[in-house]
Every structure is written in structure tokens, then in C-alpha cells.
Amino acid sequence: MDGLTPMVAAATALILAPLAGGLVLGLDRKLTARLQGRYGPPVSQPFYDLVKLFGKGARWVNRWPPFFAVLYAFGAAASVILFALGGDLLVLFFVHTLTIGFLVMGALAAVSPYSRIGAGRELIQAMIYEPLLLVVFMSFHQAAGSFDIAVVRSASSPLVGEIPLAWAALFLVFLIKMRKSPFDFSTAHHAHQELVQGIRTEYSGPFLALVELGHLYEIAFFLLLFSLFWPTAWGASAILAATFAASLLVDNVVPRMTWRWALRMVWIPGLLLVFANMAWIYYGL
């Protein structure tokens, strides 16, 4: 029976994660539309899109984008499964790096201007948010005493009280990963994109569906990370609701910015704030 429990956890994560991610995405689109005075698509629109894309024929520039689309979906799913199985936050960080690397390499491998510029911007995005993500994990380690997810989850007091600035940093990372303004310069869910679809330009048909699926897994991964800040049912819901509301607000208020702006705005305040938080705890103030 013992051997089955991790398998059950993994299978549950595998199936539930894209559902959760899709719902968040759908809700986001619906509420954004309402804020803009439109009706908006149904909340389950992402799933309709997935089904539609999987049903399309494959068009490809060369065989690398399809190849890396599969690996990207695998990496994203692996992050969620590894989280469900418990273990080390740093391992999750490296697997996450793997995932983004695959997506970018697939886009770079297509000799397409939009794709390559989008991939370059995605790489800059990754460079921007990775230090932040790592520092958030370091904050977890500092507050809870270990990188182990099980230990972090069983911390005595909700971590959001001890490392609130880490939440702020993770929120910035979430904005970037969700491809929300002001950080949607690599690709976006909206049609108005000066790079067509940016990094996703040359992924099409079932392979775009895989990229979308991977994206849903990534959203779920971040939802799980946010839940670590307050691991109880109500606490996690509160954190997630607050994060979601904040991201909705920012997305609809701020326009798309450039990567240079993003680099300055995310690194300088983001890193400084989190390090300040860490130093606060480290020097025992």
C-alpha cells in the first residue's frame, strides 16, 4: 500500500493540475473581459481550445519545435508531479529551468524571425525571474529550516507572516509566468502582438496544444508554490485569491513594457526586497 501512495499522488497531480490551471486561466479571461465591459469567453474556454488544437493537423517548419513541445509539456508535468511527491525545492527549480530551456530551444531552432526574437525575449525573461524564484526558495529555507517541501508545509506559523516580501517576489514571478502585462513581451494570449505570437509562432496544431498544456501545468505549479505560504485550506485559498486578484488588477492597469524596463524593475526592487527580508531574519532583528 505504501508504494501506491506516491503513485496515487502523482496520478492525481497529473490529472488535476491542468484542470486547476485551466480554470484559473479561464476565470482570468472571464473577469478581465468583465472589467473591460465585455462578456468574455466561458470559463472553460481553455479546455475547448486544447481540444480544438489537438484535433488540428500538424504543420511544422522543421522537426525541432514538435520535439521540444513534447519535452516542454513533460518538464512542466514533471515539476508538478515532483511537487506532489514531496522532496526538494531546489530540485524543482532545476527541473523548471529544464522546462523553459526546452521551450526556448525549440523556438530558436525554427528559422523564423518572430520565433527567434520571441525566444530571445523569453530567455531574458527567464534570466529576470530565475534569481527571484531561487531567492524565494532560499527564503523558504530560511524561514522553515529546510528545502524539503514536507518540512516547509509543516511550519508552525504561516510563512506569509515571516517572509511577506518573498510573497511579493513570487507574485512578480507569477506575473511573468502568466504572461501578464507588463511582462508579456515574449508572447501573449492576446492577438495584438508585434511579434505575431512571439515564441509560440512556429508551434502549431497538436504541438501548440502541448505548449498550452505545459503552460497550464506551470500555472498549477505556481499555485502550489503560493499555497506553501499558508498551508492550511483556508489560508491557501486566501493567498491564492489575493494573488489572483492582484494579478488581474495589474494586468488591466499596466501596459506592456520592454524587457529593459522589466530587467530594471524586477531585479532592483525585487531582489533588494527579498534580500532585505532574508537579512532581517538572518541577523535576527
Partner 1 sequence: MQPLISTVILFPLAAAWLSWAAPTRSARKLLALPAGLVLMGLSGLIYAAGPVSFSPHPLWGRLLHVADYGLLAGILIIAVRLQSRLSWLLLLVQLGLLIGFDVGLEPPPPDGPKIVVDALGLTLCLVVNGIGGLVLVYSPAYIAAHEERIGRRNGPEKTFLFFMILFLGAMNGLIFANDGRWLFFFWELTTLCSFALIAHDRTKASLEAALRALWMTLLGGVFFLAGLILLYLETGGIALDRILSAPPSGMYLAGAALLCAAGLTKAAIPPFHKWLLGAMVAPAPVSALLHASTMVKAGAFLILRLMPAYAGTFLGWGIAWIGAFGFMAMGAAAIHQADTKRILACSTILNLGLIIACAGFGTAMAAAAAVLLLVFHALAKALLFLCVGAVEVKTGKRTLDDLKGLGARMPLTTGLMLIGILSLLLPPFGVVTGKWLLLKAAAADPLPLFFVILGMAFHLLLYVRWGGDLLSRPHGDRNWSLEPQPLSIRLSMLALTAGLAALSPLVPLLFSDFVVPVIRSVGLSPEGIAGWGPAGGYGLTYLPALAGALGAAVLAAAWISLRLPPEGGARPAYVGGADAVVEGEAGYKGPFNRFEPHQVTPYYFSAVFRSGLFNRLITAASAAILLMVLAGAVWIGDGGLPWMG
Q: By the criterion CB under 8 A, which residues form the site for partner 1?
A: 57-64, 66-71, 74, 78, 82, 86-88, 90-91, 94-95, 97-98, 100-101, 104-105, 107-117, 119-120, 123-124, 126-128, 130-131, 134-135, 138, 141-142, 147-148, 196, 201-202, 271, 275, 278-279, 282-283
The DSSP element (H or E) to which 98 belongs, if any, is helix 89-108
DSSP helix/strand/coil, 256? coil
Q: Which is nearer to partner 1, 24 or 92 (CB)?
A: 92
Q: Which is nearer to partner 1, 90 or 245 (CB)?
A: 90
Minimum Å gap between C-beta 28 and partner 1 is 27
Maximum Cα–Cα distance for the chain, whole Å?
Answer: 61
Q: Which is nearer to partner 1, 234 or 283 (CB)?
A: 283
Minimum Å gap between C-beta 199 and partner 1 is 11
Q: Which is nearer to partner 1, 20 or 195 (CB)?
A: 195
Minimum Å gap between C-beta 91 and partner 1 is 6
Cα 188 from Cα 172, distance rounded (Å): 16
What does DSSP assign to residue 88?
B
Q: Which is nearer to partner 1, 55 or 86 (CB)?
A: 86
End-to-end CA distance of the chain: 47
Cα 218 from Cα 211, distance rounded (Å): 10
Cα 103 from Cα 164, distance rounded (Å): 31
Minimum Å gap between C-beta 101 and partner 1 is 5
The DSSP element (H or E) to which 21 belongs, if any, is helix 4-35
Minimum Å gap between C-beta 227 and partner 1 is 20
In a 13 Å sphere around the CA of 194, the CA atoms on its Cβ side amount to 7
